[in-house]
Amino acid sequence: MLVVGLGASGVAAADALLDAGVAVTMVDDRDDHPAVADLRARGIEVATGVAPVERLDGHDLVVPSPGVPEHAPVLRAAAERGIPVWSEPELGARRHPRRLLAVTGTNGKTSVTELLAAMLATGGLDARPCGNIGTPFTTAAAAAPGDAVLVAELSSFQLRFVERLRPEVGVLLNLAADHLDWHPTMAAYGEAKARLWHAQQPGDWAVVNAADATTRSLASRFAPAGRAAFDGTGAVVGVGVGVAGPALVAATPAFEGPLVRLDELALAAPHHRANVAAAATAALLAGVDPAAVAEAARRFHPGRHRLELVAERGGVRFVDDSKATNVHAAAAALRSAERIVWIAGGLAKGVDLGALGAHLDAVRAAVLIGTAAEELAEVCAAAGVPARIAASIEDAVTSAAALARPGDTVLLAPACASFDQFSGYAQRGERFAAAVRALPPATATTGGTGASR
């Protein structure tokens, strides 16, 4: 069996194959990977510094790491030769079948997965969050007892190559332009996400966003199971959880009625209400007691770098939403405050950033960083938003603080990936927070010129 990539997902796949008594070859085009010696000591053949397609001969299964795009030569060659390609979660689902709830979407996957696992745990179930959220799916499946429930965050990269992975509840949160450097088209991206439901059977549930026509359309085309919906702004029609008056309200086969008051949730932002509604829908359909669902919803605070308040200085709020790595997420963040000095930029991943121009009504000024800074400057100019380009995140914070006035929010919502300047969105957020903490006390209160919006 050929495993492509020496990251955590690849190592988990190799371990599962070794446990099954299968000979494993791992290949990576990097020639300096630190895990090579350990992998070889475990009996794995490792080839580094070579193109994976060069090692395809003699193998009857390919397990690619998520970073290997579907158009990669090794995957094209495997398809031409009729060699199956399984993602690491597909391998885990086949090796260790477990009760499974799964979450995917362009934005909100991690928060919803965390919250859904918390709802199950509050309801007394042995919930095991896994997938992109931390522990590889295969590792979690192998370690979990038979009565555990896997709660998996799954990416389009992983779902593209599943066949038998079967969640009893599969949640598709939203779909917006992203990862078009990996998927050939938006249609292909959507269809990869929809494979979440490919192996579902009657009695299973496909959960979609009532406010997102694309997810509803994908469910109608690809979901063989029952359908439910969630909504963070209004009521749902049929099965699901939505908003009615001051509360989230459920309508599921096992429970109908108010679930939790909106003012009991940690954030008032519409996308947070939608995330809670999505997790609650899935939890109720999985049989969790409504009181446990409501208790977990009240206690839940989104993770780091998700509209995280870093500091408030002289009436100016500094908010870290470094996790907003695409247009859809940044647009949601830009609706979270009435007056914003916006810090954005990074690696655009092949996505047209022009759509952000329709979401800048609250933006008084922008400070732009990274590879996409020039493109975002054009977007801002077209919308009449004053913008300047900064050489670093530290320079951006200093500039934004000088522009900000009491009542403003300095918002890091990059709309881009971070890998042109940082190791990941977390490092970008930490650098932002450190720069905010390093500001002189009066810096954020001086206001700015040329930013009259």
Q: Per the annotation, where are the binding residues?
A: 105-111
Which backbone phi and psi does 204 adopt, to 5 degrees?
Answer: -85, 170
* Residue from 231, 164, 155 nearest 193 by CA: 155
Torsion of CA 443, 329, 69, 191, to 10 degrees: 180
Closest CA to 64 of 40, 41, 38, 90: 90
Q: In degrees rounded to 5, what are phi and psi of residue 302?
A: -55, 155
CA distance linking residue 345 with residue 430, whole number of Å:
16
DSSP category for residue 347: B
First-to-last alpha carbon distance for the chain, in angstroms, is 59
SS3 for 294? helix
What phi and psi, each to the nearest 5 degrees, are found at residue 176?
-145, 165
Rounded distance, CA 291 to CA 311, Å? 34
Q: Name residue, tokens 């066949």.
A: 163
**Contact predicate 230/210, CB 8 Å:** yes
Query: Can you tell me the distance from the alpha carbon of 383 to that of 453, in angstroms, rounded to the nearest whole number?
Result: 11
One-letter amino acid for residue 193 of the chain: K
Kindly tell me the burial class for residue 337, based on how many C-beta atoms sit within 10 Å of its own C-beta (0-12, 13-18, 19 or more).
Answer: buried
User: Known binding site for ATP: residues?
Assistant: 105-111
Integer Cα distance of 169 and 102 in angstroms: 6
